[in-house]
Amino acid sequence: MLTKTLAVVGLAALSGRVVADNPIIQTRYTADPAPFVYNNTVWLFADHDEPGSTWYTMKDWRLYSSTDMVNWQDWGVVMDIPTFSWASKDAWAAQAIERNGKFYFYASMTRKGASYGIGVGVSDSITGPYRDPINKPLAANGNIDPTVMIDDDGQAYMYWGNPGFYYVKLNKDMISYSGGIVSVPTTQQAFGPKFAEGPWVYKRNGTYYNIFAANCCPEDIRYSTAPSATGPWTYKGLVMATEGASFTNHPAVIDYKGGSYFFYHNGALPGGSGYTRSIAVEKFEYGRDGSIPQMKMTAAGAPQIGSFDPYVRVEAETIGNSKGLSLSTEKTDDPEGGRMHVTSINNGDYIMVKGVEFGAAPGATGLSLRVAAQNGGSKIEVRVGSVTGTLVTTCNIDATGGARSWRTLQCAVPSGSATGKQDLFFKFVGNGNNNLFNFNWWQFSRAAKA
């Protein structure tokens, strides 16, 4: 059963942070990225470090999604340690995959009274909730960090490793396997100087890739290739050298909308370290021979794909960048729905949505906001360009009858004030250091065509 708590992880130290696209999640620390492309959307599964941690203190797994690689919607907690009756702690690295309309989420954790094990959660929806269908570890040999793939012939494999490297052949039910656990020798010829952990195995153009963390600690990222899912593996080179505030790293690679993307984690948020990490992403191109180039961590991150549509309902927890604030991990109680809502909003906090396409003049003519406020006197300044950029409109927030009493506000937008492609900022203004109001969704409107 998922825990239902209110997250207080606004990372207030972000007040001095320069707006950048990496790390891609700013409202909490995240680690061990596991992206999955489904229904033309990138779904990013992640574990996360608790603020102030001095160890890998991690209690659950979260889900994010994007269709443009820069604005990410937070779907909250989809699985946690209590999901698994046999587990005691350590919601560590995981990966999800779909088969026959069901979603399978393989995750590392510590067993009660024993060492590490790998469990599997199953759901009919990618957004969960996930349940444990076998009530025991799928595999347990003291190693962690599962990665999973389904080959072209339908055979599924689960690999994992730290400090060794192992795999099993999953059955078609995806919750059991045939044969035994196979140990793969981590020789220098196969994996370079020193295989460490975090394998990510996938197939591209007939070649099998295994990208992994090496040389712990501090770690770098390297890769090997093979002619089959079971090897033999041949070491190919360095992908990302050791850098940043985190002494660990964890890779993932996907292709999406014609581009290739490399996910990793670092310690780039304020307070970041090897125990408080953050997920980032870079776009890259394979060499003509299929080689992966060496990359560096950047603040710029991947470029936006296309633009963002402001004329559909947008969940407030869809964020390109932000300062302050927090997100509720319990399902919002707004009768109009929504998975979560933005909370712990204080004076000066903001949400940025990148690359919003308002279209040609007159552009947007109105804005709807769904809010709940215990007290009045606050406002949202809607700006474009920057947090101090052109003022589009100001929406005054009056008391709605309580922090759980939701109301839709209508704000006029002067003709021509929001046109073209712009970075959009919701800047929150009010008195006091308590939560000014809760924010569920927003949607712009435009004049009807004649």
Q: Could you list the active site residues? A: 32, 197
Long-range contacts, stretch 149-157, CB < 8 angstroms, 24+ apart:
149/97, 149/201, 149/202, 149/203, 149/229, 150/97, 150/99, 151/203, 151/229, 152/203, 155/229, 156/97, 156/99, 157/201, 157/229, 157/230
Among candidate residues 344, 347, 351, 367, the one with its CA nearest the CA of residue 319: 351
Q: Is the peptide bond before 362 cis (omega within 30 degrees of 0)?
A: yes
* Residue 413 to residues 227, 355, 381, 417, 435, Cα–Cα distance (Å): 59, 19, 12, 7, 26
Burial class (CB in 10 A: 0-12, 13-18, 19+), 285: exposed
Q: Quick one: tokens of 407?
A: 């109301």
Instruction: Please identify which residue in the block is written with the tokens 């603020």.
Output: 51
Contacts of 191 (CB under 8 A, 6+ apart): 165, 210, 212, 214, 222, 224, 233, 235
- Rounded Cα–Cα distance for residues 223 and 209 (Å): 7
Return the bridge partners of 119, or none.
107
